[in-house]
Amino acid sequence: MAEGRNVQWVEVGEGQSGQRVDNFLITRLKGVPRTLVYRIVRKGEVRVNKKRVKADYRLQEGDLVRIPPLKLAPREAVKQVSEGLRNLLAGSVLVEGPGWLVLNKPAGLPVHGGSGVKIGLIEALRQVREDLEFLELVHRLDRDTSGCLLLAKSRPALLALNEALKQHRMDKRYLALVAGRWPARREFVSARLDRYDAGNGERRVRVDAAGKVARTRFAVREALPKATLIEAEPVTGRTHQIRVHAAHAGYPLLGDDKYGSREGESLARHLGLSRLFLHAESLTFPEPSSGRPVQIRAPLPDELEAALAQARNAR
């Protein structure tokens, strides 16, 4: 990298070849919000080989990228990761491979910043792992969901893992606690899902014949006096899919403030549950370089274990 007066000139290496210029900048400019990245690209302040490019331009090895000096207004800057969050994320890595890592995502932390959220998991982890030049999400988890989250540490690994996801060679299993007795015979829920604006900028999902195809496999893991511990395997990957399909089947997840029921709210309070009971328990995927299957499990968080113990003794 060579620098002019407050201007950076960065040569694209083999590992960044094929990456979109906006994603290249977001990864490199830690602490800079996406909106600002798109703005400087749109204004032509970012140049590749001295030419203007669009945000979706695919970089090639040897390209020379001009990055202008940036001064962030306080309201624009991505929040610096706190010491507590830094330690939490550093201790949440379950397994790390040469081109990937699996994190046990904490509940309550969105994977991306935005919509009033100054910092998300990916922005925070890029600050924590300053040793990594590349770090991208392979898939997402809802803000209130905990468990296995896969990230790529190189572009080739990201492409390989995205392809595995597209070809359904990635297996994701979730644990959920629902109100009532889930019928042992009910295995699949197929119901089209549609996203809509619920007001105040909040986006929700509902079952709608005009929506996108969605299918979830459910299995009873443990029948409890007033609830059922179920395993959910999303065959498709729609937003809030497990939560909406479970509610549509008549068995909403406990602790679900968007799609829950009064019965579920009452039971959650009785069990001392103060969060959504949805946990990405296991993840199986082909290792990007060898193709060998990798299986990772994330232990159930203490607060969910405590609620489950209460549910086993509920009367």
Distance, first Cα to last Cα, the chain:
66
Of 28, 120, 34, 121, nearest in space to 76 by CA:
34
Helix (H) or strand (E) holding 207: strand 203-207
Give the integer Cα–Cα distance in Å for 59 and 76.
27
* Among 276, 281, 280, residue whose Cα is nearest residue 307: 276
Any idea which residue has 């929506």 for tokens? 211
Distances (CA, A) of 195 to 52, 93, 111, 142, 203: 35, 32, 19, 14, 7
The catalytic site residues sit at: 142
